[in-house]
Amino acid sequence: MTVHTVGSRRVIRAACAAAQEAGLHVGMALAQAQALVPNLHVAEAAADEDEASLRELARWAIGYSPVVALDPPDGLWIDIAGVAHLFGSEEELLSDLTSRLTRQGLAAKAAVADAPGAAWAVARYGAGGVVPTGRMVDAVATLSIRALRIAPDKLNALHRLGIERIGQLAAMPRAPLVRRFGCDVALRLDQALGHAFEPIMPLIPKEAPVASRAFAEPVARLEDLKGVLLRLAKDLCRQLDRRGEGVRRLDLIFQRVDQKSACLRVGTARANRDAAHLARLFDERLQTIDPGFGIEEMVLVASKVEPLSETQIHARSLGEEDIGEADMGPLVDRLGARIGMRRVYRLAPVQSLVPERMARRIPALAPPTGSVWPENLPRPTRLLDPPEPVVATALLPDHPPAFFVWRKVRHKVAKADGPERITPEWWNGDKSSFARDYYRVETEQGGRFWIFRDAPTAEGGRWWMHGFFS
């Protein structure tokens, strides 16, 4: 719990979860708090340090989206328009964000909504999570009016009138509301309901290389944007060249005439400062930008850079002569810009015999592992995950099946090979022990399947279809 001085009183500025449980809340006098909880641990609030660490957190959050803004004392805005697909979906982005914050030891609550005001309200006073497009009014209406970010005296006045929920406030006639409480209450209400626009001023890291261009006349044509983008990229690359750095992540921010901003983000798999290549990464998604009445300013920020010296560039261009050593960096970047860097990968062998665990994903440009799976194991080319149950009949216990029924089709087995017993890795101390007996079977028509029995016949093993050779 931290305390600060307001006038002559010592007031609680922030309280941890345990303190809130004990009945303390922000704004309570210290004397009252100490009366409630006798041995209270009190620390002096350090507003500067709080803001510095919030700024630090904001810089970390730039990993999610280029447009991150501070919301002192304890909030962050992250504009995820145009970047959610890189994480799969908005839900996945949100769960990734909160779980990573929790792992850092920060209690965090997050919400996604169409308007910043609504997200603010749902994150602080609602259940959090993703508010579906168009459902914002429903999500906000039941929340307390404290979720509106209005001054405490006006809040008290509203309470006296018996208005507790945002829905009640929204139902009131507009003119008397403005006359009685002033414009800001109405404005906050509109912002929470998404009727009024609220600008987010992005925080640009000071040390990041930036290239920007403001236009005398608003620009809207796609070709013009492409041209400007290329010039910005050249600008940026010149700066990077001087600093001996290459881009790992690039953000393009558009400022529209109507003060709205849009942003695009691309990542590169390896540090790069080839202007034409970097500009090309935006090609595909540039057309998704809605220029509205025109774009006033374009800013290109290299939000993540890595050292890249001259020699590395030369070494790579030489490599192109040898096909085996060709540089896949640009290709991986372009694919990553289309579908997200996480979906471009290589598979590396894992020391395991359980089919589902035999491979793990590694970054596409990771150095060659050189390791392979054991070569003499016959493995199918397609795996059915999860395995599907099969009704099979074996002539003798622990023999391969004589025929089996899979997906309502009866297959007669002509030849078979097996069993090959697969058990979990004992060296991992895996508690879930199972033993699968795998058989390769060939049906009369020649189709080859990989089926297994999850226990010996005597123990009531069932049959499963797991893979396809042909």
Partner 1 sequence: MNPGQQDRLADLRLQIARYEGGSQKTKPLPFGLRALDDHLPGGGLARGALHEMIEAGLASEFAGSTTLFTAGIAARLKGPVLWCLTRRDLFAPGLLRAGLHPDRVIYAEANREREILPLIEEGLREKGLAAVVGEVTRMSLIASRRLQLAAEATGVTALVIRRWWTLAEKDLVHLPTAAVTRWRIAPTPSELMPAPGLGRERWHVELLRCRGAEPRTWILEACDAKGCLALPADLADRSDQAADRRAAAS
8 A C-beta contact, residue 348 and residue 359: yes
Question: Of 21-29, 46-54, 158-166, 438-446, which part binds partner 1 (CB under 8 A)?
Answer: 438-446
Considering the complex, what minimum distance in angstroms separates the CB of residue 408 from partner 1? 13
Which token pair is 62? 């730039």
Q: Are strands 401-406 and 409-422 parallel, antiparallel or unpaired?
A: antiparallel
Would you say 74 or 284 has its CB closer to partner 1?
284
CA distance linking residue 130 with residue 113, whole number of Å? 6
Would you say 330 or 424 has its CB closer to partner 1?
330
CA distance linking residue 153 with residue 146, whole number of Å? 11
**Local structure of 271: helix, strand or coil:** strand
Applying CB under 8 A, the site for partner 1 has a residue count of 60
Report how far Cα 330 is from the mean position of its chain's Cα atoms.
Answer: 23
Would you say 152 or 324 has its CB closer to partner 1?
324
Considering the complex, what minimum distance in angstroms separates the CB of residue 35 from partner 1? 58
Question: Of 114-122, 148-156, 424-432, 435-443, which part binds partner 1 (CB under 8 A)?
Answer: 435-443
Helix (H) or strand (E) holding 252: strand 245-256
Considering the complex, what minimum distance in angstroms separates the CB of residue 393 from partner 1? 17
Q: Are strands 129-130 and 210-219 parallel, antiparallel or unpaired?
A: unpaired
416 binding partner 1? (CB under 8 A): yes
Considering the complex, what minimum distance in angstroms separates the CB of residue 82 from partner 1? 16
Tell me how crowded residue 351 is: count the other CB atoms within 10 A of its CB.
11
Which long-range contacts does 187-192 make (Cβ < 8 Å, 24+ apart)?
188/117, 188/148, 188/149, 188/150, 189/148, 191/115, 191/116, 191/117, 192/115, 192/117, 192/118, 192/120, 192/121, 192/140, 192/147, 192/148, 192/166
377 binding partner 1? (CB under 8 A): yes
8 A C-beta contact, residue 441 and residue 413: yes
8 A C-beta contact, residue 181 and residue 158: yes
Task: By CB under 8 A, name the one of 17, 216, 372, 458 that touches partner 1.
Answer: 372
Q: Which of residues 256-315 bind partner 1 (CB under 8 A)?
A: 284
345 binding partner 1? (CB under 8 A): yes
Question: Of 105-113, 129-137, 379-387, 430-438, which part binds partner 1 (CB under 8 A)?
Answer: 379-387
Considering the complex, what minimum distance in angstroms separates the CB of residue 324 from partner 1? 6
Binding pattern to partner 1, positions 80-119, x when CB under 8 A? --------x-------------------------------
448 binding partner 1? (CB under 8 A): yes
Task: By CB under 8 A, name the one of 167, 218, 380, 461 that touches partner 1.
Answer: 380
Site residues (vs partner 1, CB under 8 A):
88, 284, 320, 323-324, 326-328, 330-332, 334-335, 338-339, 343-349, 355, 358-359, 364, 368-370, 372-373, 375, 377-385, 409, 411, 414-417, 440, 442-449, 467-470
